[in-house]
Structure formats: C-alpha cells, structure tokens
Amino acid sequence: MKAMQKRSKNDEACERVDLPITGMTCAACASRIERTLNRQPGVKAASVNFATERATVTFDPAAIDAQKLIGSVRDAGYDVAAETEDGSVEESLEAAHAAEYAELKRKFIVAAVFSLPVLVIAMSHGTIEILDFRGVNWLQFVLTTPVVFYSGIQFYRGAWAAFRHRAADM
C-alpha cells in the first residue's frame, strides 16, 4: 500500500492509498467494494479496478485510517494483499496468483477424472453391458460427489458470501 499526501480542492489534507484487492471474480465484485468504501465516513473518493485488482481511495486521515479501509474491504468478503518484508506487494500478489492457479489446476484434474466415467455411463444408454447394472445411479452419485463438493466449492462459497451480503452476483 502506498499512501501519498494530497491537497483537495477545499484545501483539507487528504491521503490517497492504493489497496491491492484479492478475491474479486467479476465487475460486480469491484462495484460492491467501491460502494462499500465510498460509504465509509471520511472517504472522499474510491474507485476499484477489476482488471488491475486495485482500489484507489482518497480519504481524510482525521476521520478514518487505512486499517479501517482494509477492514471494510474484508467485511465485504474480499481481502487485501499483504506487503512482504521489503514493502513489495507485487511478490505477494504473484505468490497468491500462483497458489490459486495450482489449486484450480488440481480441482480441474479431479473434476475431469471423476466426470469422464459419468459421461461414459450416461452416454452409453445401456449399450455397454458392464455399465448396465442395478446400482449404476449410485455409482454416478459417488463419482459426481467430489466434482460438486471439491471442485465446485468455490461457487458455493461465492453464493454464500453473496447471500450473507444480500447481493446478487455471477
């Protein structure tokens, strides 16, 4: 986070801070964070860019501080990337992106491995004798459970967060 002193039009001292936001999945997320920040007392202006994953906030330091802004972002269901020891946020963001990519890749592989047999069973329509038995529906249920509850958990978490905040999203 970089904070800079800046004078506004009415000559009161304001600070500007850039917050690296993590956890946004769509433009509606950016809009929700922007509304949350603009509602905070002492915030003069806030804008959130989904593409760069950054929020730029101009605020009155006498009314609110950067930690309260970070807290309001977290209360909205998102996170702010932490600085590393040398004060760089970019390394922290790159590490977070790499970890997210690895997790999504693992979830994709699990989904593919368990979905392929279900696809074969469903599309065979009983023509493959070994797959045409009385408990085939239970087998499909067992095979799809990890896909739904492991690979698809992020959708349920997102829906729960949207429900808690009384907001619709993707």
In a domain, 91, yes or no: no
Per-residue pLDDT of the chain (170 residues; tens, 9 = 90+): 554 444 445 546 889 999 999 888 888 889 999 999 999 999 999 999 999 999 999 999 999 988 999 999 998 888 888 766 666 777 778 888 899 899 999 999 999 999 999 999 989 887 877 777 888 989 999 999 999 999 999 889 888 877 877 777 76
Both tokens of residue 169? 């999203």
127 found inside a domain: yes
Residue 55 is assigned to a structural domain of this protein: yes
Q: Which tens digits make up the pLDDT trace of 48-58?
A: 999 999 999 99
Q: Is residue 170 part of a domain?
A: no
148 and 106 within one domain: yes
Owning domain of residue 37: 2-80
In a domain, 115, yes or no: yes
The residue among 30, 47, 80 that closes a domain is: 80
User: Distance between CA 90 and CA 100 in Å, rounded?
Assistant: 15
75 lies in the same domain as 106: no
Residues 62 and 33 in one domain: yes
Are residue 68 and residue 119 in the same domain, yes or no?
no
- Any idea what the CATH number is for the domain that residue 52 is in? 3.30.70.100
Cβ partners under 8 Å of residue 169, min gap 6: 25, 26, 28, 29, 32, 158, 162
Tell me if 92 is assigned to some domain: no
Residues 6+ apart with CB under 8 A from 144: 114, 115, 118
- Report yes or no: 95 and 83 within 8 Å, Cβ to Cβ: no
End position of a domain, from candidates 80, 114, 144: 80
- Global pTM reads 0.68
Residue 47 resides in a domain: yes
Residues 55 and 26 in one domain: yes
Residues 76, 15 share a domain: yes
Asked if residue 81 lies in contact with residue 20, where contact means CB atoms within 8 angstroms, the answer is yes
pLDDT of residue 11: 43
Domains contained in the chain, number: 2
